[in-house]
Each structure stands twice: as structure tokens, then as C-alpha cells.
Chains A and B, each alone.
Chain A
Amino acid sequence: MKTRQLMQLQTFSRTVLKKNEQIYIIILLIMTAVRICAQESFASVSLSDNRIKILLRLTGMSPRSILTPVQENQTAEITFSIRLYQKEKESNPFRAVLVKEVSKIQWGQWMPVIQRYVVQSDNGSVYFTNEQTFVVAFLSQRFNLSFLPKQKESYYILTRIQLKTLKFLPPFTILEPFFRNYYKTTPWVQTELTG
């Protein structure tokens, strides 16, 4: 199957893509900024031993929407962002203090030489042969943050996931504003932090 994918990739620019050019021109002219709201971020948050453990996962995504560009030798990028807030006193319930902000980016690719999927991040590369496992790993991220909560203070966490199903390479980054259909961003989701 992988050989077939590679063959597709080899002939991609010469055959299939030319047919798609007109479609992309139309897309460019329309310049729609599509923000798909069907996707949601799932966050599992726990606090123990002065450490916050968070599992962030993008749900509601069709695996095909990740796999198709990746199998076309493109890179997918996902950014997981968390913000830890300390709630204000009753005097001003609408304001909160930002305590910590962390973002992690990982990239998903198909490695044709070793015939494996890879999820790369600052922590290194993880290889996958199974498509489903790759998609699950790519759309998930764990955070393990040291945190010493103050007594009698309450905290909450905002989480957000930004997905680029196709990451443009320079100089094609100029196209980013016009192809918003490759970008999906979940709203900030609030989760109370309980010990």
C-alpha cells in the first residue's frame, strides 16, 4: 500500500495537481476563512504531588483529513496551548491572573524512506506503522507541569488546539491567509483545577 502511495506521490505534480489547479484558484478567489467548529478539544486535567497532568486531545476529526495531506508527502502541524489562571477574589470575579502559559507543537509526516509515519516534536520523533495509532498520537499531547498551588486559592485551565492539516513551506507561507480551510482552531475550553 505504501508503495502505491509513493507512486501516487511521484506522479502527483505532473498529473493530479494540474487538474486541481483551477479548484485552488477558485478557493483563492473566494478566500473564505473557514473555521470548523465541529472539532473540540478534550482535556483531562489532574493535580497531584504539585504537578499538573494534562492530556489534551483533538476530537471530532476525521482521520482521513490528517492522513490525506500527510500521504501526499505534506506536513501536518498541531499546536496545543494551555493557560493556567488563578481566580480573582469576589471583588472582581471577572478577572483572573495568568499564572502559566505553555504551548507545544508537533508535526506529523510520512517518511517514505523508512515507510513510516512520524510525529516530531521538541522531545524527538516517534515512528508509527499503523495509521490510526499515528493519528491518535498526533492529535494528542501530554503536559506535566510542576505547580505549587497557594492555599485557599482556586485555579482553572484554558486549553486550545490549533491544527494545520497542511503546513505551508516557505515561500508558500504567503498563501496561509487564503487557505483557511486547512486551519482548524478550537475555542478556549475552561477546566477547573481540582486537587
Chain B
Amino acid sequence: MTKKKPGAPVLSGVISIILLYIVLIIMILLFAGKILSDISTGVSLTQLRYLGFSLVLPIFLLASIFINIYKLVKQKRAKAPGATFKTKLLIFFTFISLLSSIPQGILALSFINTAMESWFSSGTGDAMTGGLQIAIDYNKLVSSEMKTFSSSRIFENILGQMLTSPDRMWHTLKNIHPMINSLAIYNGKGERILSRSDKNFTESNLNLSMKEGVLSRSKQGETTVLRIHKNFTKNDVRYFAVISTAFPKNFDTYAGNITHALRLYTQFGKFHSAFFLALIFFFTYFSLPILLLSILTSFLLSDEIIKPVVHLEEAINRVMEGDYTHRILSKHKDDLANLVNSFNRMVAELEQSRQSLVQNEKVSAWQEIAQRMAHEIKNPLTPIKLSAQRILKKYQENPESIGKILSPSVDAIINEVENLTKLIKQFRDFAQMPVSHMSKINLKKHFEQLIFLYSGSFSRIEVDISGVKDISLMADPDQLKSIFSNLISNAIDSFNGGKGKIIIRSDEIVKGTLNYCRIQIMDTGGGIRIEDKPKIFHPYFTTKEKGTGLGLPIVERIVSEHRGQIWFESEKGIGTTFFIDLPIKQ
């Protein structure tokens, strides 16, 4: 009994997939993490130089999938068991993978896009542009005011009070131009002689390189200060006045922030579509290996799922080929295991029934053989008995004239005894088939030799062996010769001495997992009567006058010994075709 284990261990495959998955996830986490970190911090995407390197794994996965697909296509072409089922499972698994990953991707990208769209809406842009414009206008206003005031006669007049009442001068200045926050006056040497401020400004010594009427901008802590310088003369002494105004606290910082935000907004407007495509690219780049891995996993899973089915199909083929000893082992405790157990029970019962049937057939066959034998033996016994009785009667009635009948009677007895001897010899040949001696036979050459032997005996019959292919098979050459001789003889007999044609051809075919050689022997003879068709392989059944009825049973037995099958198709008046399938390898 041959027992098949439930598939090769898939542990190594599972471990490989798990390891690949871990490597993939680590790679993605590290690489994507670094890229996301670079993106968020604004650093150049230096890690992209490894982009090519990280393509190795997807390429490897893709190659593995292609190899598996190629194998599957080959299996499908060879009509291997389970190939179609596996294809359907793979399509199903791939479809499921895509079904889950594509909507996820679309959803994630849509979320990002929607979030960005809402964040960078035209309202935000208008607000930022408006804010920036306010800052620009304010800056322009202050600068313009400072320039206008510093060059005005009023300012000169106020500065005239410098020596007499400096505090009054400061108050007047503040009343006229409240925007001014400090005043400093320097002598010709650049030494500060007067300073007033409503804010805690630290006025440094005069920068003599400063040009009159030109604004200078400086930072005092978080405050931006705008200064302007004016020269004036009092009592023929030259002085320099510097007035300052302070912008609101953090004015420059806030204006800078608005500018930066607007810069970002501009980039969004400019590269929005490109950014979205880049997101799709990176998302695909990182999710593709996972998708490929899931497809590769589906190959492994499909193999595992279809294995019991494949084993079952193989086992059914073996049973169909006549091997009732085949059993499937199942370690699992699932529905398929129940199916396998049922199959095993069914085959066991089938084997038992078959054995019983064979036994019954044997008994019936032997009963029939015994009847036929009795009939065949009884037939010659009658003439023998009659001849013997005639000799005895003659001897009792007229012994002198016994010589007249002695010779023909004894000849008849001897003739019938010889027939009996011949009959027993044929029976012995049928009952005791010689041991087969298998050797490699070239079918074409075999037929050529066989037809050569017959060539002289049937001049009116055309034999066409052009359809016999150059196939080699393992068989007993003598027994094979016996098969074909019997069938060709029967074909010749079917012409009843008339004209006819015998066509012999051979083909290589696949049945289940085995390769067979199918031989067809067609004749254009009288055909077999419908009522004779079920009996032609029965021993001692013959339609010929001098037939023994053992030819076709011997042929069937030889074919069976070679683990082959024989059957026929016949139409009365058209002809008969015998089909013989013999395994190429025994």
C-alpha cells in the first residue's frame, strides 16, 4: 500500500515569508521614517540616494512572483492537478489584497489632500496677503512720517529750544509727533549732549557716517527701531539730531512669519499637483513591496490549500488506473481531512468489492470454462466412443471382417485424441501465462517487423502503419507480438477473404500523472454484432468455425499484465477499431 504524506512541510516557506515581512517592515519604517523626518524638518532628502538600493527587495519579490506565475502557467499547460483551482485562488487573494490596499491608499491620500486643500485655502492666502500688506503699509507710513517730519521746519524750530528748555522741547516734539519715541542730540564731535526717550532705548554714540535724511533700521531686543538723522546749527555751532520711532513689539518677527507662511502658500499653489503625485509615488513605493509580499504569500497559501485537493485528485487518478492500494494521509483535523478519510474508506470498500467481484467473476469464468471444456471434451468423446463401439460390434458379429472398419475407426479416434491434446495445450497456455520480461521496445520497428511476417499471406489486404509514431515503451516483446498478431489476424479474418484495409496508428497521451502509448488497430471488415460485443473477451467465445475463443482473452490478459487497458468500437458493416493504452514506463 502506498501512502502519500499531506504535502511537503511548508514551515520553511512560512518562515521565509515572515522573515521577508520583518525585513520589509524594518526597511520601510527606517527609510520612510527618515524621509518623513527630513520632510518635517525641512532637511534635504539625503536618504533618497538609497532609493535605488531599497528597490532590491521589491525586484526580488517581483521576480519570485514571476517565477511562480511561470510555474503555474506550465502546470496549467500540463493540466497538472489543482492548477486551475490554484489560479482561481491566486486571483482571489490578489483581488482581496488590492481590494483592501487600494481604497486605503486612496483614502489616506484623499485625507492628506483634503487637509492640505483646507489649510491652504484661498481664504488663508488672502488673509496672509492682507496681513503682509498691512505690515508693508504700516512700515511705509512710519518711514514716510519720519522722513517728512525730520525735514520739516517745525522740527527745526523745536530743535531751537534745545539749549533753553530741553524738557519743553521734548514735550512739544511728543505733542506734535507722538510716534517719535526718542531724541538724541550730538555735538560736532559726535558726543551726546542731550537725550530724551519715552522708552528705554539705549542711544549709542552718533555714527558720523550716517547721511542726513536716510532711515536706518536696528533691533533693540524684540523691538525694531527706525532712526533718522538731521543736521542743524544753533548759535553757529553744528549739531546732529537723531529721532527714533519704535515699531510694535515683534513687528519684524510677525511680518517675517507672515512672509514665510505666504512663501509656503505660494509653494503650495505652485507645486500642489506635483506634491500630490509625489505622495502617490512614495505611497506606492512603500506599499508595493507589502502588496507583492502578500501576493507571494498567496502563492504559499494556495499551495497549502490545494494540496489535499491535489492529493485527492492524484489518488482518484491512481484508483482510475486500477491502483486500489493508494491511500492519503492527513495530519489535519479539518473538513478536508474528513473528506480524505471518507475517500480512504471508499477506496478500501471499493477494493473489497472489487476483490469480491473479481472472485465472483473468476468463479463464473471458471464455471463457464468448465462448461466449455466439458462441451469441447465431450464433442470428440462421442466419435471416439462410436468408433470404439463399432470396432467392438464388428469384432463380436464378424471378427473376420473387422479389418474393414478398424483402420478408419482408429484414425478417427487418434484424430479426436489429437484435437483433445491441442485443446488442452491451448487451455494450459491460457491458464499459465509466462512471466513477462520487460524491455524497451520501439513501436514503429516492432510493427514493421510484424507486418513483414504477414506480408506474404494477405496480398489483397492493405496495411497502413504510417500513423505509428516513433515511440519507445517498456513491454515484453513476445507478449506484445502476441497481442498485435491476434488483433491483426482477427482483422484479416473479418474480411472473409475479400479486400480490405487495416490502419494502425499510435499516439502518446497523458492520463492522470502517467504517460501512455495509445495504439489503434482499425479494419474495414464486417464488424462485430451488437449481441457479441459483451462476450468477445470471454474465454472460449468465438464466431469462427475453427476458432478456440481464447485469442482475445489472452490479449486482454497480456494488456492487463502490462497495466494497460483495451477496448473497442465496432459498427456492423463498417469495421472495428481496437484501442490499447499501454504505459510508456512500467
Contact = CB atoms under 8 A, between A and B. Distances in A.
A25 B38 contact: no
A175 B259 CA distance: 21
Interface in B24-50: 35, 38-45, 48
A158 interface: no
A9 B133 CA distance: 11
A115 B259 CA distance: 12
A175 B136 contact: no
Interface string B107-137: 0000000000000001001000100110110
Contacts of B266: 9, 12-13, 17, 72-74
Given A112-B259, A173-B39, A175-B274, A17 B269 contact: yes
Chain A binding surface SS class:
helix
Interface string B268-309: 111111110111001000000000000000000000000000
Contact of A174 (B135, B269, B279): B279
B264 interface: yes
Contact of B259 (A25, A73, A170, A171): A73
Q: How large is the interface on B (under 10, 10 to 19, 20 to 34, 35 or more residues)?
A: 35 or more
A168 interface: yes
B267 interface: yes
B217 interface: yes
A170 B139 CA distance: 29
B263 interface: yes
B255 interface: yes
A69 to B, nearest CB: 10
Nearest to A15: B269
Bin chain A's interface residue count.
35 or more
B268 A172 contact: yes
Contact of A177 (B48, B259, B275): B48
A170 B40 contact: yes
A10 B133 contact: yes
B282 to A, nearest CB: 7
A34 interface: no
B284 to A, nearest CB: 14
Given A174-B45, A177-B45, A114 B269 contact: no
Nearest to A167: B42
B262 interface: yes
Main secondary structure of the interface of B (DSSP, over half): helix
Nearest to B281: A178
A45 B16 CA distance: 59
A13 B125 contact: yes
A147 interface: no
B48 A13 contact: no
A113 B252 contact: yes
Contacts of B125: 13-14
B265 interface: yes
A15 to B, nearest CB: 10
A175 B278 contact: yes
A55 interface: no
A111 interface: yes
Interface in A143-191: 168-179
B262 A21 contact: no
A173 to B, nearest CB: 5
Interface centre among A18, A27, A171, A178 (most CB of B within 10 A): A171
Contacts of B132: 112-113
A62 B336 CA distance: 76
Contacts of A173: 38-39, 42-45
Interface in A63-81: 72-75
Nearest to B45: A176
Contact of A175 (B262, B264, B271): B271
A113 B139 contact: yes
A193 to B, nearest CB: 30
A176 B48 CA distance: 10
A136 interface: no
In this complex, which of B122, B129, B139, B264 has the most chain A Cβ atoms within 10 angstroms of its Cβ? B129
A119 to B, nearest CB: 15
Contacts of A47: none
B37 to A, nearest CB: 10
Given A25-B273, A172-B267, A173-B43, A114 B122 contact: no
Given A13-B265, A73-B263, A169-B267, A113 B255 contact: yes
Interface string B316-336: 000000000000000000000
A74 B252 contact: no
A38 to B, nearest CB: 23
Contacts of A22: 273
A178 B274 contact: yes
Nearest to A183: B44
B358 to A, nearest CB: 75
A119 B454 CA distance: 110
A17 B262 CA distance: 14
Contacts of B273: 21-22, 24-25, 28
Contacts of A114: 139, 217
Interface string A106-136: 0000011111000000000000000000000
Nearest to B269: A13
Contacts of B217: 114
A92 interface: no
Given A13-B265, A25-B274, A177-B48, 13 more contacts: A9-B129, A10-B129, A13-B268, A22-B273, A73-B263, A113-B132, A114-B217, A168-B271, A170-B41, A172-B267, A173-B39, A174-B278, A175-B278
26 contacts: A6-B136, A14-B122, A18-B269, A20-B270, A22-B273, A24-B273, A27-B274, A73-B259, A73-B263, A111-B259, A113-B132, A113-B135, A113-B256, A115-B136, A169-B264, A169-B267, A170-B40, A172-B264, A172-B271, A172-B275, A173-B45, A174-B279, A175-B274, A178-B274, A178-B278, A179-B274
Which 8 A-B residue pairs are closest in the complex by CB-CB distance?
A13-B269, A170-B42, A17-B269, A113-B255, A28-B274, A10-B129, A113-B135, A21-B273
